Amino acid sequence: METLTRFFKIIDLLENSSELRLKDISDKLGMDKSTTHRFLKILLKHDYVKINPDNKKYSLGLKFLNISSKIIDSIDIRNIAHPHLLELVKYTNETIHLTTFDGKRVVYIDKIESAGPIRMYSRIGNVAPIHCTAAGKAILAFQKGAVIDEIVKDLDIISLTENTITCKEDFLKVLEEVRNNGFAIDNSEHEENICCIAVPIRDYSRKVGYAVSISAIKTRMDLSKLITFKDVLIDKANAISKELGYIDTGFTNFAEMNKEL
C-alpha cells in the first residue's frame, strides 16, 4: 500500500507541475533520490512519465493523455452540449469551456476557442483547481452542504494570482453567493489577465456535475462586460440540462435549486 501511495504522490506532483528535476521531486515528497529514481524508472517504462532529454526533467507521459481521451470520449454530454457551445462562441466571440468535476478539480472536457489572436492555455483533458476557477465554483456550490464542507476542509487553497481567494471562510461565502446568483466568476484568480463566468449544468437526477463557462482576455473584455452574457449562458446551460433529462425550469429559480441542497 505504501508503494502505491508513493507512485500516486509522484503522479499528483507532476500533474500540478510542468517539469521537475529528480531532486525537486525527491525534496518535495520527502523521499531519498535513489528511491524516487527507482519509482520514476517504473513509471517511465510504462509511459506514465516522460523525461526531457535536454534538461533531464520529468513530466507526465502520454499514457495519461490516452486514458483521459478514452474517458472523455465516453461522456455523452459532449455530444449533447457541443452544439450549444458553438452557438455561445458565435454569440460572444469568446472561448467556451465545458467542464466536469473529479471531487478535487475541474476537468476540461470540451472547448471552443475564440477567434481572437490570443489563445488560452486550457486543453481538453487538462485539470484546474476548483477554488480559483468559475467552473469549479459553479459545480461545487450546488453540491450538498456536507459534501461542500468535506471538500473545502481538505482543499489545498494556494495562491496563483494576487486575486486568488486563499481563505476557506471567504471561499465558503463566495459559494453562497454563487448559489444565490446562479453563476460564478473568476476575476483573474486562476490566470493573470483572464476572467471567466460559469453556470452549473444539471442532469436527470438533478445533480450538478458539469458547468459551462465563457472565458476572456481582460484586455479584450473585462469581467463587467463578460457578465452581460450571463443570461444567454444560463439559457444554454438550462437547454443542456433539459437534454440530459432535467425536467425542471430550474436555472431561473435559484432559490428553488438551493432547497434541494
CATH of the domain at 81: 3.30.450.40
pLDDT tens-place string over residues 75-124: 678 889 999 999 999 999 999 999 998 877 889 999 988 766 555 666 77
Q: Which helix (H) or strand (E) holds 96?
A: strand 95-101
130 and 10 in a common domain: no
With cut-offs at 50, 70 and 90, classify the pLDDT of residue 19: confident
The whole-number pLDDT of residue 252 equals: 43
Phi-psi region of 97 (alpha: psi -120 to 50; beta: other; left: phi over 0): beta
Residue 220: the pLDDT is: 85
Alpha carbon dihedral 203, 209, 214, 217, in 10-degree steps, equals -170
Structural contact between residues 45 and 61, judged by C-beta atoms closer than 8 angstroms: no
Report yes or no on whether pTM surpasses 0.85: no
Domains identified in the chain, total number? 2
Q: Are residues 159 and 111 in the same domain?
A: yes
On whether both 19 and 145 belong to a single domain, the answer is no
Q: Answer whether residue 253 shows pLDDT above 50.
A: no
Task: Count other C-beta atoms under 10 Å from residue 16's C-beta.
Answer: 12
Angstrom distances, CA of residue 135 to CA of 24, 39, 97, 194? 31, 34, 9, 13
Each residue of 166-188: pLDDT tens digit?
Answer: 999 999 999 999 999 999 999 99
Indicate whether 94 and 53 sit together in one domain. no
Scan for cell 473568476, then name that residue.
Answer: 186
- The closest of 193, 183, 136, 139 to 161, measured between CA atoms, is 193
Is the CB of residue 42 less than 8 Å from the CB of residue 98? no
Q: Containing domain of residue 86, as a range?
A: 75-259
* 3-state SS assignment for residue 208: strand
Do residues 50 and 96 both lie within one domain? Answer: no
The verdict on 89 and 55 lying in the same domain is: no
Q: In what order do the strands lie in the sheet with 127-129?
A: 127-129, 105-112, 95-101, 208-217, 194-202, 184-187
Greatest alpha-carbon pair distance for the chain in Å reads 59
CA nearest neighbour of 10 among 47, 54, 58: 58
Our CA angle for 250, 253, 257, nearest 5°, is 65
Same domain assignment for residues 29 and 129: no
Radius of gyration of the chain (CA): 19
Position 258 scores a pLDDT of 54
Angle at 196 between CA 195 and CA 198, to 5 degrees: 165
Name which of 3, 104, 124, 139 is nearest 64 in CA terms: 124
The verdict on 58 and 170 lying in the same domain is no
Cβ count within 10 A of residue 209: 17
